[in-house]
């Protein structure tokens, strides 16, 4: 059974090796090791330990993706199985219909898609396409991202692709620390359902909306393709790897940063600010009212 010193040491090693802003890692490590030496973690275990270390990490570096997490399902510690959390997230997506909670047809021929996770573009393509097929003939569309907690950048680009006419829109870039390379994300050329490029789109947001959900909201807003309705989002813009340090403790390390091609920046730390600010629980009614008004219904 590893000690807290060993657990936290391994987590800090992962942060030092991978965090997207390497200049921050010395300060992060020093602050946590001071607390470790002072005995602040001695009597702690499980979720309580993870919560306190996460709090202290984010006091030094306010990056909401930088966390130590407790998971109930045992994780493999075999280096051969390391995949930055992809397989675990794939299993979650399969159990949750690739992140799509519901699709509805509202009054006035307005479509609604409730998205809770942003799926990978490969496995999620058919489910995303099925949802878009169901709203293909609506007059306006509402994407409900109020409970969307994140997902894959490739999936965010696929969702966004439906709202542009072709594959010629450069959505954003992601800079990877490990390679020093910048990956470009463009609209997808071939989609499994009709594009929705010529009708109004509204995106609902809340303080829960995070990461990949914020990516979709921010990108559509920045490119002038959607009106955002609700509350400012949580503010996490850094793609992240997940590393098991014990069977039940993960450290999540932001390894890259997003750069929007319109704004030249992202939503890290500030969130995505809606165009129409209303309490999150009133956002659907407000968006539907705006859509119907625009349609003259």
DSSP for 120-152 reads -HHHHHHHHHHHHHHTTT-SEEEEE-TT---B-
Is there a single domain that holds both residue 77 and residue 107? no
Domain-ending residue, one of 57, 81, 105: 81
pTM over 0.95: no
Say which residue the tokens 């968006």 belong to.
287
Q: For residue range 60-103, list pLDDT tens digits in order.
A: 999 999 999 999 988 888 776 677 778 888 999 999 999 999 99
Could you tell me if residue 28 is inside a domain? yes
Q: What average pLDDT does the structure give for the chain?
A: 95
> Where residue 167 sits, what CATH number does that domain have?
3.90.226.10
Token pair in block for residue 68: 């130590």
Is there a single domain that holds both residue 146 and residue 278? yes
Domain-ending residue, one of 27, 55, 81: 81
Count other C-beta atoms under 10 Å from residue 19's C-beta.
22
- What is the pLDDT, as a whole number, of residue 88? 82
Per the document, the length of the chain is 297
Is there a single domain that holds both residue 8 and residue 147? no
Q: In what order do the strands lie in the sheet with 170-176?
A: 182-186, 170-176, 256-260
Is there a single domain that holds both residue 124 and residue 39? no
Say which residue the tokens 């995070």 belong to.
210
**Eight-state DSSP code of residue 66:** -
Is there a single domain that holds both residue 163 and residue 23? no
Look at the chain and report how many structural domains it folds into: 2
Is there a single domain that holds both residue 55 and residue 185? no
Is there a single domain that holds both residue 20 and residue 136? no
The domain containing residue 118 runs over which residues?
A: 96-236+271-295
Q: For residue range 129-183, list pLDDT tens digits in order.
A: 999 999 999 999 999 999 999 999 999 999 999 999 999 999 999 999 999 999 9
Q: Give the residue-averaged pLDDT of 262-273.
A: 96
């Amino acid at each position: 059974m590893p000690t807290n010193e060993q657990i936290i040491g391994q987590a800090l090693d992962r942060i030092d090796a991978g965090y997207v802003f390497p200049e921050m890692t010395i300060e992060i490590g020093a602050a946590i090791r001071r607390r470790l030496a002072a005995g602040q973690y001695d009597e702690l275990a499980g979720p309580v330990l993870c919560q306190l270390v996460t709090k202290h990490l984010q006091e030094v570096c306010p990056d909401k993706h930088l966390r130590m997490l407790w998971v109930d399902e045992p994780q493999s510690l075999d280096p051969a199985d390391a995949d930055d959390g992809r397989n675990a997230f794939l299993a979650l997506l399969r159990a949750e219909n690739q992140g799509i909670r519901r699709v509805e047809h509202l009054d006035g021929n307005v479509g609604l898609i409730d998205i809770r996770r942003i799926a990978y573009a490969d496995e999620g393509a058919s489910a995303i396409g099925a949802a878009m097929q169901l709203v293909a003939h609506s007059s306006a569309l509402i994407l409900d991202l109020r409970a969307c907690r994140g997902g894959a950048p490739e999936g965010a680009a696929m969702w966004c692709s439906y709202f542009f006419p072709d594959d010629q829109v450069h959505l954003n870039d992601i800079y990877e620390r490990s390679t020093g390379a910048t990956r470009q994300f463009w609209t997808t050329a071939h989609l499994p359902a009709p594009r929705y490029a010529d009708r109004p789109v509204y995106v609902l947001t809340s303080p829960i909306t995070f990461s990949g959900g914020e990516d979709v909201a921010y990108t559509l807003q920045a490119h002038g393709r959607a009106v955002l309705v609700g509350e400012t989002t949580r503010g996490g813009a850094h793609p992240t790897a997940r590393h098991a340090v014990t069977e039940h403790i993960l450290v999540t390390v932001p390894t890259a940063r997003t750069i929007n091609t319109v704004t030249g920046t992202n939503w890290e730390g500030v969130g995505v600010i809606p165009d129409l600010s209303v309490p999150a629980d009133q956002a659907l009614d407000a968006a539907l009212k705006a859509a119907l008004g625009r349609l003259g219904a």
